[in-house]
Every structure is written in structure tokens, then in C-alpha cells.
Structure 1
């Protein structure tokens, strides 16, 4: 199947109150409440912020890229968890930027002989992620693979 040259992903934000809004998209039943992060004046605790979503877009892109490549490469895996951390600092102009995102994928597989393949697929997924390619923050990639103990 050949993909079209261009895709559009439309998201709508609706104002709720104060510094809160709600994200929605056609065809997606869930909405996401967003707000100014609590580190800023008027920020809201316990609500997704643009900074969380920025980091989430990178980690979710890694996951979907990995899942596609693993499937195509016939790599069976037991589990994948990815911790991520987006770091915001002021740049030389004094403006805040997300200057670094750390991805720490932890992959569990059953077959020890596939460990090198697992690392290669994780590296390829990080490399092809279109979100990562589209941003200018430094991405630090720190993967791990665990071999699960077979239950007899």
C-alpha cells in the first residue's frame, strides 16, 4: 500500500476555564485536558501540559515506529516500557526551549539470540521517528533489553 505524499492530523483545542483547554480530534473518542504547567504562574497541577505532550509525542512516535519495525522484522517481544524525560531550559536569548528529551526504552524478549537484533530495531525506530526528525531538541537515546525467564 502506497501512502499519500502528505497527511493532515487536525486537532482542535476548546477553552474550558482559566488556563485549561481540551484537545480533541475527529475520529478519536478521548479528549485530553491541557493546561499551563504548575511551574509557571497560573499553572495547574495534575493536568497534561504542552511540555508533557511534546515529550509524549516523541516517546509515542518511538513506540509506533518500533512496533512497526518489530512486526516487519518478525521480532517477538514480551514487553516494552519507555520512560522519557523532556528538559526545558532558557536559551541564550532567555527564552524557554525544550532542549533535551531522554528516551529510556526497556524491551523484554524471550530469545537471547535476538538481543542484538532487538537493539538494532530499537535504534532504527529512534532513527526513523518522524517526530524526532522534525524537532530541533537534542534526543538522548538510552535503550535496554531484558531476557525474560521462561516459565516451564
Structure 2
């Protein structure tokens, strides 16, 4: 099935300390992200950019989107491939490099999923289905930097 899917989010800056953006140090980077029907997400800039380290920042959100998209695509691929997944964790990392002119870009993201499958006979397929998941991931297909995966597959202990 082909189709278009539209998404929306409201980002509201909540960091006016009384004088707006009168100076670089005069405002807070606090933002509230809202999608109708979902919990509000407290966001900010990353700490090196004068943000609140207890809130989600755009870099966290991009990395989380890539990790979750791969996870969901992988689970779907496993259903079709006859692999029963019992557990999945990912310790994803990303490298962003500043350009010295006030901007920058991600250079790469590495996903490190640790998957637990039901049977030893599923191990090989479980490993190879990460390639299918990568090909299906909408978010990975939307970025202009490499998204690599270094999976580990374990079999449920008996």
C-alpha cells in the first residue's frame, strides 16, 4: 500500500526571562513539544549550546528517531522472516561535528541493537534481517549521513 502520511508537532518556546532575545545569554532554550493526544515533551538545546541537560534536545530526538525506527522496522522484518524476537535493546551513538560558522551536521550514527531470539535456528536470519530493517526505515532513508548497525544476536537461555 502506498500513501502519504503527514505529521505535525507544535513547538512552543517557554524560555523568555523577561527581555526576550535581547542577548545570547538573556534567554532560556526551553521548549515544549506537543503532538495532539500525546504527552508533552520538555525540550531544550544541548548543554554546550546553553541548554538544559535534563530536557530532550534535537540531537537526542534525531538519534532516538533513528534507533526506534530501526527497532520497529526490524520487528516487522522478523515477523515476515519467521524470527521470534523476545528482547531488543539498542545503545545508539551519533557523531555531530560543528563547522565553525555556527552550524554543523551529523557525520554518522551507529546503532548497536542487542536482540534475543527464541531459538538457535533463528540466529542467522535474525542477524541478516537488520539489513532489511535498515532498507525499510523511513528515518534512515531521510538523512544524508550514514546510519550503520552493529547488531548482536543472542538466543534465549534454556
TM-score (norm 2): 0.85
Which structure 1 residue ranges, 5 or more long, are not aligned?
none
TM-score (norm 1): 0.88
Question: Contact (CA 8 Å) 1:52, 1:86: kept in 2 or not?
Answer: no
Residues 104-123 of structure 1: CA deviation (Å, up to 9, x unaligned): 01101121111111012122
Greater share of residues in strand: 1
Structure 2 counterpart of 1:123 = 131
Structure 2 counterpart of 1:48 = 56
- Secondary structure of 2:53's partner? coil
Structure 2 counterpart of 1:39 = 48
Alignment of 1:1-150 (within 5 A): 2-4=1-3, 6-17=4-15, 18-27=28-37, 29-40=38-49, 42-91=50-99, 95-150=103-158
Structure 1 counterpart of 2:18 = none
CA-atom RMSD, angstroms? Answer: 1.7
Structure 1 counterpart of 2:20 = none
Larger radius of gyration: 2
User: Structure 1: which 4+ aligned runs deviate by more than 3 Å?
Assistant: 91-95
Question: What CA distance in whole angstroms lies between the structure 1 residues aligned with 2:94 and 2:126?
Answer: 25
Q: Report the CA distance shift for 1:126/1:92 in structure 2 as closer, same or farther (over 3 A).
A: farther
Which structure 2 residue ranges, 5 or more long, are not aligned?
16-27
